[in-house]
Amino acid sequence: MARPLRIAFEGAFYHITARGNERRKIFLSHRDYQKFLSYLTDALHKYGVILHAFVLMTNHYHLIVETPKANLSSFMHSLNSAYTTYFNIKRKRSGHLFQGRYKSLLIDADNYLLELSRYIHLNPVRAGITGKPEDYRYSSYRAYILPKEETINFRDLLWNMVGKEEKDGPRSYREFVETAIRDQPKDPLQKIYGGVILGGERFIQEVLKRLNDQDIQKKEVSHRRDLESIAPDIDEIVDLVGIQFKISKENVQATS
């Protein structure tokens, strides 16, 4: 089975999901959630990734991240490997913790970031765990509605999307999210293109063009490497010149 396409470029936004193997629980205690958030914090700092929202459920998690350095794969490998090692040692087990590779969805941030953040923050409500998203401890929602709440995620971007003024951000974001509990808007993930992009038509075309340009660059590099692999080195050239003109190798090098 082919691996899902990974689209990587500087400044890209992603919705990340990772599930437990066979949908088993990946968090069994409060300590597990804390350790995961600790590893997440470390990975964010190490790779310069910006976290905009998260929710940790019992058998999976959601992240919304931004990658200024186009290094999503390295970031995710570090995070999931660190947590898997911790979990396996603590539970005296071995093998895979997560179900295959994580799923990454490229986001058109201008049009879908706000809507998608609401979707993941309401996960505990849809799952019937709580009636109020702020009562769920393992998400970034409380940090958005309580400005003094300590958090590892960057909040200003979403606040600016809902509030006319900076001070309106927390109140406006709460209203934006909690209105959806009553109105139940459509699932934004139903609008995915090709299984990997959530965006409008213009955004999709820009991404496809970027992918095409990257593919051309890869082919050029590959072609250059092919040429280099068949080209003779300098010693071979010297030998050929010497044979052709019946002069010694030393004289060829002396005249070069």
Q: How far is CA 203 from CA 12, 110, 184, 193, 206, in A?
A: 12, 10, 26, 11, 5
8 Å CB contact between 55 and 124: yes
Those residues with Cβ within 8 angstroms of residue 67's Cβ, 6 or more apart along the chain or in another chain: 8, 10, 11, 12, 13, 14, 47, 49, 50, 75
8 Å CB contact between 33 and 56: yes
Q: What is the DSSP letter of 167?
A: G
100-148 pLDDT tens trace? 889 999 999 999 999 999 999 999 999 999 999 999 999 999 999 999 9
Q: Please, which pLDDT band fits residue 242 given cuts at 50, 70 and 90?
A: low
In the prediction, which pLDDT does 227 show? 37
Quote the pTM value.
0.82
List, edge to edge, every strand of the sheet that includes 60-67.
50-56, 60-67, 12-19, 103-107, 197-198, 192-193
Average pLDDT over the chain, rounded to an integer: 86
Q: Please, which pLDDT band fits residue 236 given cuts at 50, 70 and 90?
A: low
Q: How far is CA 252 from CA 67, 149, 231, 236, in A?
A: 53, 75, 19, 12
In the prediction, which pLDDT does 161 show? 94
pLDDT for 219 beyond 70: no
Of 62, 101, 67, 98, nearest to 188 by C-alpha is 62
Q: Please, which pLDDT band fits residue 191 given cuts at 50, 70 and 90?
A: confident
Q: Does domain 12-199 have CATH number 1.25.40.340?
A: no
Find the mean pLDDT for residues 65-73.
97
Q: Please, which pLDDT band fits residue 230 given cuts at 50, 70 and 90?
A: very low
Q: How far apart are CA 120 and CA 126, in angstroms?
A: 10
Domain borders along the chain are 12-199, 216-255
In the prediction, which pLDDT does 138 show? 98
Q: How far is CA 195 from CA 4, 143, 245, in A?
A: 9, 30, 63
82-100 pLDDT tens trace? 999 999 999 999 999 999 8
